[in-house]
């Protein structure tokens, strides 16, 4: 409607002998869509003014989020439900809901916009939605697929299968609807993306501080690019020259040179960055900071953060509308640095951070339920007697794979999403014993067993 009014003004102006200069209005600024995992909503950002325009309620736990290349539709999967919601970006409303089976995780869209790949973690299948009809047109069985990526035409898909004991990248033929290749992995795959030319996949593994480069002709890992602790996802810029790695531990965006597989530079962003997206002109990156509840806007030429936008709770996936018209040459420069919300809960002891969810006296207990979540243990510190035996039931409500390791006791157990593990620990004769999630230790997911009156101290 606004465009039609603008056109009418332009026509009248041209007839009247003056030329309308076509200044960008707020309504024409590309919008970014951000899934707020803990708010059950999608925030809509105006990328010129760098502010939230509105939030759109969606079913519980928005997990995957992609946009059609024309910027008209956004698909959002809800991990806590069994649906993919379709948002019309003209009205910013959910216009369709597609049933996809329980606990859908990541979404991917083909470069031509024709197909959306759903990683059906709970339904153990990859599904494909035709974006013309918004119906599921095919499925392939895959155990616990977490995230995926599609070729430009949507006929080849890759998914990260997180089935413990059988973790792998799995190649799918989406015309014959079959698994056609499998790259077994000894660690759990997280985020992955095909290069624009389809020749490589950049992906991450839980507990490995390097971006993995897979050659899709040989199905071999041909390079590993060291970055900081806990990289999550490294998507390509539209021209394929760079990949933009979110690195959760240090809270930075790693800019990877894809010509020689090196880390070209880093930019400090917010806490626990989760995902990144490029503007269609490749000048700007938008990074969701799950731990600081904001989005960092990064100027890729200057490698600086130009804005930090508070968006709501636990921002995860993000997609941005294409830049068009004069907006393409008007990079956002407005600075709206918002104060980060520090919870004041993080404790650092001897260089190890602890997301502190309290101390529990367990001296009179034989069993304790310990909660594992994104990204902490609760309680964080357990106070016991020298030599006390305690059964720990570690339960997770999260949709992320976690782990609990106590190296000196030889304990190393993965905790499946929404799952639990149980084992016995023995408190040391004195001092403290550290435990950690081996995937998320750098994010503060650590704790300690304290003997007697010991205070938390540095521990290995």
Quick one: 117 or 355, whose CB is closer to Cu ion? 355
Burial class (CB in 10 A: 0-12, 13-18, 19+), 49: middle
Quick one: 108 or 160, whose CB is closer to Cu ion? 160
Quick one: 63 or 402, whose CB is closer to Cu ion? 402
Which helix (H) or strand (E) segment is 346 a member of? strand 346-349
Could you give phi then psi for residue 115, rounded to 5 degrees?
-140, 145
Shortest approach of Cu ion to residue 376 CB, angstroms? Answer: 9
Structure tokens at 283: 């000048």
Quick one: 299 or 371, whose CB is closer to Cu ion? 371
Shortest approach of Cu ion to residue 392 CB, angstroms? Answer: 15
Quick one: 158 or 375, whose CB is closer to Cu ion? 375
Distance CA 298, CA 193 (A): 20
Burial class (CB in 10 A: 0-12, 13-18, 19+), 260: exposed
Distances (CA, A) of 111 to 5, 72, 156, 321: 32, 14, 12, 14
Q: Is 301 left (phi over 0), alpha (psi -120 to 50) or beta?
A: alpha
Shortest approach of Cu ion to residue 356 CB, angstroms? Answer: 16
Cα–Cα nearest to 172, from 153, 159, 185: 159
Q: In this chain, which of 159, 402, 436, 450 binds Cu ion, going by CB under 5 A?
A: 402
Shortest approach of Cu ion to residue 377 CB, angstroms? Answer: 9
* Segment near Cu ion (CB under 5 A); pick from 15-23, 241-249, 429-437, 448-456: 429-437
Quick one: 29 or 437, whose CB is closer to Cu ion? 437
* Segment near Cu ion (CB under 5 A); pick from 52-60, 315-323, 386-394, 441-449: 441-449
Shortest approach of Cu ion to residue 400 CB, angstroms? Answer: 6
Question: Is the CB of residue 171 less than 8 Å from the CB of residue 181?
Answer: yes
* Segment near Cu ion (CB under 5 A); pick from 68-76, 125-133, 140-148, 400-408: 400-408
- Cis, bond preceding 324 (omega within 30 deg of 0): no
Distances (CA, A) of 156 to 79, 108, 172, 275: 24, 12, 6, 23
Neighbours of 135 (CB within 10 A): 11
Which residues between 309 and 368 bind Cu ion (CB under 5 A)? none
Q: Does 440 bind Cu ion (CB under 5 A)?
A: yes
Number of residues that bind Cu ion (CB under 5 A): 5
Distance CA 336, CA 31 (A): 17
Shortest approach of Cu ion to residue 378 CB, angstroms? Answer: 13
* Segment near Cu ion (CB under 5 A); pick from 72-80, 121-129, 227-235, 434-442: 434-442
Shortest approach of Cu ion to residue 370 CB, angstroms? Answer: 13
CA torsion 266-272-277-278 (nearest 10°) is: -20
* Segment near Cu ion (CB under 5 A); pick from 124-132, 185-193, 295-303, 397-405: 397-405
| The 381-384 sheet, strands edge to edge | 359-361, 381-384, 446-451, 432-436, 402-406, 411-415
Quick one: 186 or 453, whose CB is closer to Cu ion? 186
Could you give phi then psi for residue 409, rounded to 5 degrees?
-100, 5
* Segment near Cu ion (CB under 5 A); pick from 72-80, 269-277, 376-384, 433-441: 433-441
Quick one: 89 or 230, whose CB is closer to Cu ion? 230
Shortest approach of Cu ion to residue 331 CB, angstroms? Answer: 37
Quick one: 115 or 402, whose CB is closer to Cu ion? 402
Beta strands 381-384 and 446-451, pairing class: parallel
Shortest approach of Cu ion to residue 324 CB, angstroms? Answer: 41
Quick one: 28 or 289, whose CB is closer to Cu ion? 289
Largest CA distance in the chain: 91
What is the per-residue binding string for Cu ion in 276-315, x denoting contact by CB under 5 A? ----------------------------------------
Shortest approach of Cu ion to residue 65 CB, angstroms? Answer: 22
Which residues between 249 and 278 bind Cu ion (CB under 5 A)? none
Shortest approach of Cu ion to residue 229 CB, angstroms? Answer: 13
Tokens 């949507």 label which residue? 154
Shortest approach of Cu ion to residue 173 CB, angstroms? Answer: 33
Distance CA 316, CA 290 (A): 6
Contacts of 269 (CB under 8 A, 6+ apart): 246, 251, 252, 253, 287, 289, 296, 298, 305
Quick one: 242 or 439, whose CB is closer to Cu ion? 439
Quick one: 56 or 445, whose CB is closer to Cu ion? 445
* Segment near Cu ion (CB under 5 A); pick from 82-90, 96-104, 330-338, 442-450: 442-450
Residues that bind Cu ion (CB under 5 A): 402, 437, 439-440, 445
């Amino acid at each position: 409607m606004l465009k039609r009014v603008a056109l009418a003004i332009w026509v009248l102006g041209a007839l009247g002998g003056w030329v309308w200069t076509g200044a960008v209005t707020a309504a024409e600024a590309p919008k970014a869509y951000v899934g707020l995992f803990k708010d059950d909503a999608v925030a809509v950002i105006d990328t010129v003014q760098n502010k939230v325009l509105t939030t759109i309620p969606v079913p519980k736990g928005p997990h995957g989020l992609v946009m059609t290349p024309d910027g008209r539709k956004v698909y959002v999967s809800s991990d806590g439900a069994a649906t993919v919601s379709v948002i019309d970006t003209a009205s910013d409303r959910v216009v369709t809901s597609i049933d996809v089976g329980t606990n859908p995780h990541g979404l991917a869209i083909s470069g031509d916009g024709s197909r959306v790949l759903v990683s059906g973690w709970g339904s153990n299948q990859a599904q494909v939605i035709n974006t013309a009809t918004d119906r599921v047109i095919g499925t392939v069985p895959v155990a616990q697929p977490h995230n995926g990526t599609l070729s430009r035409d949507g006929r080849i898909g890759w998914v990260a299968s997180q089935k413990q004991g059988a973790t792998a990248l799995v190649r799918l033929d989406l015309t014959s609807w079959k698994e056609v290749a499998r790259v077994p992995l000894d660690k759990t795959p997280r985020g992955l993306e095909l290069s624009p030319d389809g020749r490589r996949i950049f992906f991450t593994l839980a507990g490995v501080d390097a971006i993995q480069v897979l050659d899709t002709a040989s199905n071999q890992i041909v390079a590993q690019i060291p970055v900081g602790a806990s990289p999550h996802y490294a998507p390509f810029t539209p021209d394929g020259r760079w990949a933009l790695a979110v690195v959760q531990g240090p809270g930075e965006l790693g800019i990877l040179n894809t010509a020689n597989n090196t880390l070209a530079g880093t930019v400090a962003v917010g806490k626990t960055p989760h995902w990144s997206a490029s503007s269609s002109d490749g000048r700007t990156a938008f990074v969701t900071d799950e731990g600081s509840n904001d989005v960092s806007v990064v100027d890729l030429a200057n490698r600086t953060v130009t804005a930090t936008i508070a968006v709501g709770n636990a921002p995860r996936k993000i997609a941005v509308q294409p830049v068009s018209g004069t907006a393409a040459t008007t990079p956002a420069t407005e600075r709206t640095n918002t104060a980060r919300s520090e919870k004041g809960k993080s404790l650092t002891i001897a260089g190890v951070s602890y997301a502190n969810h309290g101390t529990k006296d367990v001296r009179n207990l034989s069993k304790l339920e310990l909660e594992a979540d994104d990204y902490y243990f609760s309680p964080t510190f357990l106070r016991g007697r020298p030599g006390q035996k305690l059964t720990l039931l570690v339960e997770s409500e999260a949709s992320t794979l976690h782990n609990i390791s106590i190296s000196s006791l030889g304990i190393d157990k993965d905790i499946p999403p929404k799952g639990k593990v149980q084992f016995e620990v023995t408190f040391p004769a004195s001092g403290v014993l550290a435990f950690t999630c081996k995937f998320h230790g750098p994010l503060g997911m650590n704790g300690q067993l304290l003997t007697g009156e010991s205070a938390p101290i540095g521990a290995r």
